[in-house]
A and B are shown apart, each in its own frame.
Chain A
Amino acid sequence: MKRNPGIIVDFTKGLWQDNPVFRQLLGMCPTLAVTGKALQGLTMGLAVTFVLVSTGIVISLIRKIVPRQVRIATFTVTIATFVTLADRFLAARFPAMSAALGPYVPLIVVNCIILGRQEAFTSKNPLLPSLFDAFGMSVGFTWALVVLGCIRELLAYGSIFGQSVLGTSFEPWVVMALPPGAFITLGLLIGLMNVIQKKKEARGKE
């Protein structure tokens, strides 16, 4: 009975408390690069989910037979293999999306979230907690990307997930779709998260 709450915490910590994007500031490249539109953010989130969970399963299963000295190389090759799979799948089934994401799908290989979780968690824990941890982090990463994508798409094109929201009278705010919009939106969101976290902690103390 004692184990179950642990597993649930392994899952939920990625959603808010240790959210990879807003709290740990990991995996910034895809976060900034592909969130010009909400759908792209969602796709990137799902691709990272696939790679993180698959790598987590493999690493957790082989963690005892991999010598410590070569563990980083092993992690990296495992990650690169699953990223190749995800990339080929996207290119075959969703060529337009694959072209829009460009080199940012292969760049998942060096996404620090994935290597970081293997090193910090999966390589020290059995399969089940590792799976929950990987899923929690993935969901945390995906929702952060979708939120960022929705805000930027709404301001840049007046739409969310391609559905027009603000109508035709809306004057597109193009810079939100461009790099400056990405940096500034994420900066302000991180500030907002800090404020909310502070309030939560203050309430916890009372």
Chain B
Amino acid sequence: MGEIQKLVLVFIGAALVNNFVLTYFLGICPFIGVSRRLGDALGMGLAVTFVMTLTATVTWAIYYLILIPLHLEFLEYVAFILVIASLVQIVEMFLRRSVPGLYRALGIYLPLITTNCAILGLALFMVLKNYTFPQAIVFGIGGGLGFTLAILIMAGIREELEYADVPEALRGAGITLIIAGLLALAFMGFSGIIGG
């Protein structure tokens, strides 16, 4: 299999087959919290995609160029979480200074991302799956776009749901989780495209 083909498979795998939200249950908090309106969902999705791509790049370098040569693999979690927290801070400062337009669009979502489990999950899965450097970057982009897709679909459904008569006890989180279950059922249809 060619290198390009492998990258395509990693992308489809991360975005659709093993969707971060609907298969790995990562990033559920923003998925439930920020999926009330389409605009907010899009902003959150793009912010996550941006940070995921950066995280994949930086944590790959840290793990394979620093932790492994120094035999410090046990510091993996501490190192990753520190890298993600500082990365989010740096991105926030950089955007505020240099790209104010983008900062206004994404700014409020950025601090929320530090504790988004999808980001740390991405770094952990990247190590588990032994991805090469290009594969890790594609994994980050694919994972982020998959998250964006899932949260956009959810926001679209929830906007319509405003007009539906949901049983009182299920309003809010309950019905959102049940819809997520049905979405996950639909996304199971993607398994099999990449043959294991």
Contacts and interface: CB of A to CB of B under 8 A. Distances in A.
A180 B182 contact: yes
B77 A87 contact: yes
Contacts of B175: 187
Contact of B169 (A33, A180, A181, A198): A198
Contact of B185 (A102, A110, A180): A180
A146 interface: no
B28 interface: yes
Contacts of A188: 170, 174, 178
B25 A28 contact: yes
A106 B75 CA distance: 11
B169 A194 contact: yes
A166 interface: no
Contacts of B9: none
Given A28-B29, A184-B181, A106 B74 contact: no
A13 interface: no
A109 B81 contact: yes
B81 A179 contact: no
Contact of B24 (A33, A73, A110): A33
Interface stretch (B61-69, B93-101, B121-129): B121-129
Contact-residue size bin, chain B (C-beta under 8 Å from the other chain): 35 or more
Interface core residue of A33, A181, A182, A183 (most chain B CB under 10 Å): A183
Contacts of A77: 78, 81-82
B74 A180 contact: no
Contact of A28 (B28, B81, B168, B178): B28
A76 interface: yes
B26 to A, nearest CB: 6
A88 interface: yes
B178 A184 contact: yes
B174 A191 contact: yes
A192 B81 contact: no
A109 B173 contact: no
B177 A183 contact: yes
A106 B177 contact: no
A87 B168 CA distance: 40
Interface stretch (A3-11, A55-63, A78-86): A78-86
Contact of B78 (A80, A112, A186, A195): A80
A112 B77 contact: no
A32 B178 CA distance: 12
A100 interface: no
B195 to A, nearest CB: 19
Interface string A102-124: 11001101111001000000000
B181 A180 contact: yes
Interface in B84-129: 85, 115-117, 119-121, 124-125, 128
Interface string B113-147: 00111011100110010000000000000000000
Contacts of B74: 84, 88
Interface of A: 25-26, 28-29, 32-33, 72-73, 76-77, 80-81, 83-84, 87-88, 102-103, 106-107, 109-112, 115, 175, 178-184, 186-188, 190-192, 194-195, 198
6 contacts: A28-B29, A29-B117, A76-B82, A106-B124, A110-B116, A187-B175
Given A109-B81, A112-B29, A183-B180, 11 more contacts: A77-B78, A77-B82, A84-B78, A88-B74, A106-B124, A107-B121, A110-B81, A180-B184, A184-B181, A186-B177, A190-B174
